[in-house]
Structure 1
Amino acid sequence: MAAPLKAEFHFDFGSPNAYLAELALPDIERRTGVKFDYVPVLLGGVYKATGNLSPGESLRGIRNKPEYNALETERFLRRHNITQYRMNPFFPVNTLMLMRGAVAAQFEGLFEPYFRAAYHHMWAEPKKMDDPQVFRDAFLSSGLDIDRIIARAQQDDVKKKLIDNTSNAVARGSFGSPTFYVGDEIFFGKDRLREVEEEIIAQLDARQRKTA
């Protein structure tokens, strides 16, 4: 029996576009029946390895482009009925602690509640999540055993896994977040979700024809 089709969402909590894109993934999963693997990467590491800049840096000083970017974000929010989004006033936030926490939460079987809480405290009710006390208080308010995750995040296997995820993503062609893979096909940005879904359907159809 063939392995299920692999669809991946590579994310860093520091990317507002990754947050917005993720909110649209459940609908794609419902329509296609394919579940995404959530892969934590360190966006700072991706940028460093590829020589890329964050949108905030690359748009600085360019006339009209930041305004157009904001317009596209508004359109995306309307299209996907997203109401829980506020720009984090502390942006950019250093996400090393958050992303190690994501890997630790995966290892501890706590990923789903950790992921939801992290995004909530970054982009729905934004806080300075690179402040250790703010970080701990925020997750406690969401009912997580955050001390267990903090302790796990300091273990070498967690640190190594985040580094490996990041370097593997770059080796496969990644240069930012959100990045999606459908099999070996790469897509970048929240504005490519339609193509991501089309590629999932195309690959599913190709598999069906092979087995027919």
Structure 2
Amino acid sequence: MAAPLKVEFHFDFGSPNAYLAELALPAIEQRTGVKFDYVPVLLGGVYKATGNMSPAESLRGIKNKPEYNALETERFLRRHNITKFRMNPFFPVNTLALMRGAVAAEFEGMFEPYFRAAYHHMWVEPKKMDDAQVFRDAFLSSGLDIDRIIARAQQDDVKKKLIENTGSAVARGTFGSPTFFVGSEIYFGKDSLRDVEDEILAQSAAARRKSA
């Protein structure tokens, strides 16, 4: 029996493109029958390790490119019927606490509600989520036992896991967000989702032929 196809979504809550891409994943899961593994990575660590910079920095001062970037985002919103998205006025937000929280929530069996709340407070009702008080109040308003997650996030195993996730992603070819892996094939950016889906279908079909 062949092992199930491993499909991964590497994310950092600070990336608006990762937020937008994630909204399209449930439909891909439905059409293909796969489940994405959600892997928290620290985008600041990825940038540091690869010498990359955020789109906000790389687009600054370039004629026409930021406008085209905004146009592409509008097209993506329309294509996927995304209505809940607001640019965070505090962007860029330092996401270290958010991302350690994601690992802590995973360890505590609270990943799904934490993940949804974090994205809500970053890109639906955006807040300055690198302010400790704002962070705590936001998650409390979403009904999470955030003090438990904050305490867990201070533990060495959580910090180590986030560093490992980030280092491993870079070793496999990551340089930004969002990044997807279909088996060992890497795809970057929200606009690669159609290719991600094609690759899932191709690898699934190949696996079926092999086991037939």
The verdict on a shared fold, with TM-score over 0.5 as the criterion, is yes
What's 2:194 paired with?
A: 194
Using structure 1 for the length normalisation, give the TM-score: 1.00
Following TM superposition, by how much is the alpha carbon of 1:205 offset from its aligned partner in structure 2, in angstroms?
0.3
1:173-212 matched pairs, under 5 angstroms: 173-212=173-212
Deviations 1:15-46 (A, max 9, x none): 00000000000000000000000000000000
In 1, distance between residues paired with 2:151 and 2:26? 31
Letter of the structure 2 residue corresponding to residue 156 of structure 1: D
In 2, distance between residues paired with 1:194 and 1:207? 20
1:52-201 matched pairs, under 5 angstroms: 52-201=52-201
Following TM superposition, by how much is the alpha carbon of 1:140 offset from its aligned partner in structure 2, in angstroms?
0.3
Letter of the structure 1 residue corresponding to residue 105 of structure 2: A
Deviations 1:139-182 (A, max 9, x none): 00000000000000000000000000000000000000100000
Letter of the structure 2 residue corresponding to residue 98 of structure 1: L
What's 1:23 paired with?
A: 23
Letter of the structure 1 residue corresponding to residue 18 of structure 2: A
Deviations 1:73-95 (A, max 9, x none): 00000000000000000000000
Are 1:41 and 2:41 matched, yes or no?
yes
Following TM superposition, by how much is the alpha carbon of 1:211 offset from its aligned partner in structure 2, in angstroms?
1.1
In 2, distance between residues paired with 1:211 and 1:135? 49
Using structure 2 for the length normalisation, give the TM-score: 1.00
In 2, distance between residues paired with 1:66 and 1:175? 20
Any conservation in 1 of the 2:21–2:178 contact (CA below 8 Å)? yes
Letter of the structure 2 residue corresponding to residue 203 of structure 1: Q
Following TM superposition, by how much is the alpha carbon of 1:2 offset from its aligned partner in structure 2, in angstroms?
1.8
- 3-state SS of paired residue (2:127): coil
Total equivalences in the alignment: 212
- 3-state SS of paired residue (2:144): coil
In 1, distance between residues paired with 2:183 and 2:83? 32
Letter of the structure 1 residue corresponding to residue 184 of structure 2: D
Instruction: Please provide the CA RMSD for this pair.
Output: 0.3
Note the residue ranges of structure 2 that are not aligned, 5 or more in a row: none
In 2, distance between residues paired with 1:79 and 1:28? 14
In 2, distance between residues paired with 1:177 and 1:130? 19
Letter of the structure 1 residue corresponding to residue 28 of structure 2: I
In 2, distance between residues paired with 1:18 and 1:41? 12
Following TM superposition, by how much is the alpha carbon of 1:189 offset from its aligned partner in structure 2, in angstroms?
0.1
In 1, distance between residues paired with 2:125 and 2:146? 18
In 1, distance between residues paired with 2:12 and 2:37? 14
In 1, distance between residues paired with 2:55 and 2:96? 19
